[in-house]
Amino acid sequence: MFIISIVAAFAAGMIFDNIYKKRWQTLFFEKTDELLKGKTNYDIIYLGNSRVHFAINPYYVDSVTKLNSYNFGFGGADAEEIMLTSNIYLNQHKAPKLVIISLDNGALLKNNILQTRFHYLYFLHNDTIKKHMNQAGFFTSLIKVFPFTKYSFFDEYNRTSLFVKGKSYPLFEHNIYKGFLNIHQHTHTKAIGIYNAEEESGEISDNAIAYFRNCITALQQKGSMVIFVSPPVRSSPAKKQNAFDKKADSIFSSLAIEFHLKHLHFEDDKIYENEYFVDDIHFNEPGSRLYSQNLGDSINLILDSILKSP
Amino acid sequence: MLFNSIEFIIFFPLVTVLYFLVPYKFRWLLLLLASCFFYAAFIPSYLLILFFLIIIDYFAGLLIEIKLNKKFWLTISIIANVLLLGLFKYYDFFISNINQITGSDFILLHWILPIGLSFHTFQSMSYTIEVYRGRQKAIRHAGYYALYVMFYPQLVAGPIERPQNLFPQFFKEQKFSSQKLYEGLRLMAWGFFKKLVIADRIGHFSDAVFSNPTQAGTLTTWLAIFFFSIQIYADFSGYTDIAIGAARCMGINLSLNFNRPYQSANIREFWRRWHISLSSWFRDYVYIPLGGNRKGRLRKDLNLLITFIVSAFWHGAGWTFIVWGLLHGIYTLIYDNIKKYFAISIPAFFAWLLTCTCVAFAWIFFRASSINNAVQIIYKSVDFKAISFKNILEVPGANIELGNFSLAFSFCMIAYMFLIEKFTTPKMFELIFKKNMDIFIFSSSILLIIFFGVFQKSSFIYFQF
């Protein structure tokens, strides 16, 4: 009886694995595949959350810098996931010349985002991922032996994706490119609104600061230049800074000073009008194009100054 | 220790294997230690409360049997049990109501209710009452008596066992039986399916609506009431199935506690099928001693209402539980009187629908956090002007949305549960279908649990009692 059930579970698990990868957030799988198995050693990589994933288009940055870059931003990524992404990349690839870390104050909160990153359960053969997912509370050894058990950990939203086909992305000029995704071609402020004017608050996580430190240290030890970027925000209505924001900003500034990092401040840049945003912090496609071009220009200036310095 | 936990997955096979390996004369000790360990996983210090109860009732039983002022010792046993229950469960309720009415400021205890206390006390009182009535010999062996109170499968949420059922099985050397093991495991799988795939899935939605009644629409509220009615059945009967199944693996038969209550055609039938061990306890130790139906119609009706109110109170120290019990008492009285004085017969389907509707309505009070909360739910459910098919699955205030898939899946699983239970005998030890069907049920239960179980740890609803 148990043997029949276990065999059936293995078979069902294999079918579900195939369906899940095709139906849900294929870009997450593509990026993680690129991270683990990609053969290309990129000159620049971008790390961060949805403010990287939806915002930095390597097509436009590369056209300005003439370098080869990849967007490794994951929506909702916290400090731990940023460090995880960076460490995996360094283990599998040659260290990049430049690493752009896009800063979001939310990354300093106790998010435990890995507890909802079920797609990493397909990559437990990687020791780094296995270690972090184990720390997040998953029974990784059990899942490795009985892969179908990963579905026991899924939340309802992810289970639904096994049976409900998601929307396909519309294709227009360069809106999906080397890890970047932006499907909002011309939507603006009064549209969907993923993130709107809520004051970020909460407790700063000491672990988050430690993860940032580890990430920067590992990158610098491998010879990469790390640049902090504070990305643009919608200028009107202006997002108010509360005590949490001020504390988070000061932590990032301290880290930049401690590790001698360049810190690009786009948050006060007035050229990003409301028409470039779908909400307070996420760009539409024209907005991401403008930002990527400007980011490329800034990177060029930094690289030029390095070449010219004695 | 929760049944739906990794600890239990390790605990259960270990204890079951050891049970058959250990010599028969030491089995009581193994089970007793295992039960102590099981209970200590909640709050270890509360074991002392259990031991206190065990000591009182063990000696009370012995003294009752030797007829040394037996009524006195029975009274001591009942007072000790009721006092313990009263202090932990009802003291704060009564005092806070007195404070509110009189404006006084008596101190509240804020003691956490020991898990399963209501069940232990009733099981213990059942023993001393049966000894008093001469229907049970007092148990000399303190270890066996302690095991009767603490037997782990039914320790925290029943079934409430009678001594005549458990002691003979404890004293008999249970031989290993692969058939019983298979039946037990099958029943446990079914119980886990009901708890993890159905109850915990739909529970999130009904919890959200009951917590934010003003935010939900009319149809959303109906859905939440329906889901809670199913949730409490799947949760509690699921727990019972796991308990009965776990005991069955060791060759011990626990009492049937649920017999397809939602198939009932009237309220009397419902109470013959729902939480049977509790309703029979109240029948035997409250309703009949009050006089039952032997003292005239009015007295019978009064005894019935008192029994339902006391039963409601057993569930919780709150006005909502009292209203819930009162409703069921009124339902029963109406049913009895209609049946006696008006020879009305309604088609079976409508009788069933009416019964389920009345029961579901009463569940509103059972689930609500307060009378006000219950009234809000009822108001929302009858706000027919606000009926809209848009956003039925959303509860804005709770930021929860049940997807179409989850809804469809939940309904499928509920239908599957009722269909399977319709075509099996109550303890699922026999199937009316061909033998291959039990393989299907067992395998499908396991697969559904693995792929669709909700594993965020949640305790069973009846643990709070």
Range A150-164 average pLDDT: 81
pLDDT at A304 over 60: yes
The alpha carbon of residue B427 and the mean position of all alpha carbons in its chain are separated, in whole angstroms, by: 16
Distance separating alpha carbons of residues B70 and B61, to the nearest angstrom? 9
pLDDT at A97 over 90: yes
Domain definitions of chain B by residue range: 6-176, 179-464
List of domains in chain A = 30-104+167-308 (3.40.50.1110)
pLDDT attached to residue B304: 92
Is B400 in CB contact (< 8 Å) with chain A? no
pLDDT at A160 over 80: no
- The closest of B222, B345, B185 to A1, measured between CA atoms, is B185
pLDDT at B358 over 60: yes
Q: Is A142 exposed, middle or buried (0-12, 13-18, 19+ CB in 10 A)?
A: middle
pLDDT at A309 over 70: no
Task: Confirm if B35 and B151 have CB atoms less than 8 A apart.
Answer: yes
pLDDT attached to residue B397: 63
Mutate to test the interface with A, among B7, B413, B447 (most CBs of A within 10 A): B447
Answer whether B455 sits within 8 Å of A153, measured CB to CB: yes
* Alpha-carbon distance values, B137 to B126, B130, B140, B159, B168 (Å): 13, 8, 9, 21, 11
Distance separating alpha carbons of residues B451 and B106, to the nearest angstrom? 52
**A230, containing H or E segment:** strand A225-230
Choose the catalytic residue: B120, B204, B275, B315.
Answer: B315
* Alpha-carbon distance values, B342 to A305, B345, B355 (Å): 99, 9, 18
pLDDT band, very low/low/confident/very high, at A198 (cuts 50, 70, 90):
low
Segment A28-57, tens digit of pLDDT: 888 999 999 999 999 999 999 999 999 999
Q: Which residues contact A273 (CB under 8 A, 6 or more apart)?
A: A235
Which of B182, B442, B452 is the closest to A159 by Cβ? B452
Provide ipTM, 2 decimals: 0.78
Position B283: which residue type?
R
pLDDT attached to residue A191: 46
Segment B12-58, tens digit of pLDDT: 999 999 999 999 999 999 999 999 999 988 788 888 988 999 999 99
Which of A1, A139, A151 is the closest to B442 by Cβ? A1
Give how far A152 is from chain B: nearest CA, Å. Answer: 5
Over chain A, what is the mean pLDDT?
A: 87
- The closest of B98, B4, B411 to A152, measured between CA atoms, is B4
Percent of chain A at pLDDT exceeding 70: 90
pLDDT attached to residue B341: 80
Query: What is the CB neighbour count within 10 angstroms for residue B458?
Result: 18
Tokens 């989850």 correspond to: B406
**A227, containing H or E segment:** strand A225-230
* Alpha-carbon distance values, A273 to A52, A287, B370 (Å): 18, 9, 50
pLDDT band, very low/low/confident/very high, at B122 (cuts 50, 70, 90):
very high
pLDDT attached to residue B432: 46
pLDDT at B2 over 50: yes
Task: Confirm if A86 and A219 have CB atoms less than 8 A apart.
Answer: yes
Give the CA count within 13 Å in the CB-facing half-sphere of B406. Answer: 25
pLDDT band, very low/low/confident/very high, at A18 (cuts 50, 70, 90):
confident
Segment B136-194, tens digit of pLDDT: 999 999 999 999 999 999 988 889 999 999 999 999 998 999 988 988 998 899 999 99
The alpha carbon of residue B105 and the mean position of all alpha carbons in its chain are separated, in whole angstroms, by: 35
Range A216-220 average pLDDT: 96
pLDDT at A202 over 80: no
pLDDT at A5 over 50: yes
Give the CA count within 13 Å in the CB-facing half-sphere of B235. Answer: 22
pLDDT band, very low/low/confident/very high, at A22 (cuts 50, 70, 90):
confident
pLDDT attached to residue B431: 45
Answer whether B447 sits within 8 Å of A151, measured CB to CB: no
Task: Confirm if A236 and A274 have CB atoms less than 8 A apart.
Answer: yes
pLDDT attached to residue B246: 94
Is the model more confident about B367 or about B391?
A: B367
Q: Can the peptide bond before residue A237 be classed as cis, meaning omega within 30 degrees of 0?
A: yes
pLDDT at A199 over 60: no
Residues of A in contact with B452 (CB under 8 A): 151, 159
pLDDT attached to residue A71: 97
Segment A56-96, tens digit of pLDDT: 999 999 999 999 999 999 988 999 999 999 999 999 999 99
pLDDT band, very low/low/confident/very high, at A195 (cuts 50, 70, 90):
low
Range B216-241 average pLDDT: 93
Q: Which residues contact B275 (CB under 8 A, 6 or more apart)?
A: B158, B236, B257, B258
pLDDT attached to residue A203: 79
Task: Confirm if B202 and B227 have CB atoms less than 8 A apart.
Answer: yes
pLDDT band, very low/low/confident/very high, at B398 (cuts 50, 70, 90):
low
Segment A122-145, tens digit of pLDDT: 999 999 999 999 999 899 999 999
Among residues 13-42 of chain A, which lie with CB inside 8 Å of chain B? Answer: 16
The DSSP letter of residue A119 is G
Over chain B, what is the mean pLDDT?
A: 88
Answer whether A1 sits within 8 Å of B406, measured CB to CB: no
Taking the model in full, what pTM does it have? Answer: 0.86
The alpha carbon of residue B184 and the mean position of all alpha carbons in its chain are separated, in whole angstroms, by: 19
Answer whether A9 sits within 8 Å of B446, measured CB to CB: yes
- The closest of A167, A235, A219, A178 to A53, measured between CA atoms, is A178
Whether B120 is a known active-site residue: answer no
- The region of weakest confidence among A183-197, A201-215, B265-279, B447-461 is A183-197
The alpha carbon of residue B187 and the mean position of all alpha carbons in its chain are separated, in whole angstroms, by: 17
